[in-house]
Amino acid sequence: MKKRIVILAAILTMVGLTPSSAHVGANLRGFSDVAGQSSTVYLRLGHGCTDGKNYFGTSSFEVVVPIEAGTPRPEFKAGWRAKVVPSAEKNDKGVALSNKITWTAKSPLQAIDHGTFAEFAFQVRWSAAITAVTKVAFPTTQVCKRGLQDFDTKKKAPNDFFLKWIITDGSTLAATADTEFGPAPTVTVKPAA
């Protein structure tokens, strides 16, 4: 009986550590979710990358901000550099369909260790053209650069590893040797009254 309980507890623990429970979460922390208004979006990274045996910190984080959220303004993060690049794709008015924010650690010492979490924030203005309740997705990619060292084993990452939280249609993608996939974080925006 004790053995069954131990096995069941081990299974439940493993279920809690599946990739589906690991993701980038989005939160507004009380800022506006109404079309036409300004807001701040907070994205929380829950962990770094792994090769199955070693764990490496995140050294770069990028988010694609769609046109529904306007042109983003990234929050300052000590030890990191932020850059906003508009997409080459434009709408009929010549406005970029999205903007990509990339935060990059200024040195390997600034990488976010695997066993910790971090938040990245940016200001937006929800499009006034949102006339129905709309889920706005923010596809994100975490990069754990080659050469970063596992804090415990001291092994260096032999190549870049990626966590791509980019899925917006409910489908799934199989992980590869260096990339894990999952759902993009979303924010639900309401039309103005």
Give the amino acid at 182: G
The per-residue pLDDT string of the chain (193 residues; one tens digit each, 9 = 90 and over) reads 544 433 333 333 333 323 334 579 999 998 999 999 999 999 999 888 888 888 889 999 999 999 999 999 999 999 999 999 999 999 999 999 999 999 999 998 899 988 899 999 999 999 999 999 999 999 999 999 988 888 788 888 888 999 999 999 999 999 999 999 999 999 999 999 8
Q: How far is Cα 135 from Cα 56, in angstroms, rounded to an integer?
A: 32
Q: How far is Cα 74 from Cα 121, in angstroms, rounded to an integer?
A: 6
Q: Is residue 3 part of a domain?
A: no
Q: Is residue 2 part of a domain?
A: no
Q: H helices within 103-144, ranges in order?
A: none
Q: Is residue 14 part of a domain?
A: no
Residue 77 lies in domain:
23-189
Q: Sign of the C-alpha dihedral, residues 8, 13, 18, 23?
A: positive
The CATH number of the domain holding residue 118 is 2.60.40.2230
Contact yes or no for 46/25 (Cβ under 8 A): yes
Q: Whose structure tokens read 């001291």?
A: 154
Q: Is residue 9 part of a domain?
A: no
Largest CA distance in the chain: 69
Q: Is residue 87 part of a domain?
A: yes
pTM of the model: 0.84
If one counts the domains in the chain, the total is 1
Q: Is residue 6 part of a domain?
A: no
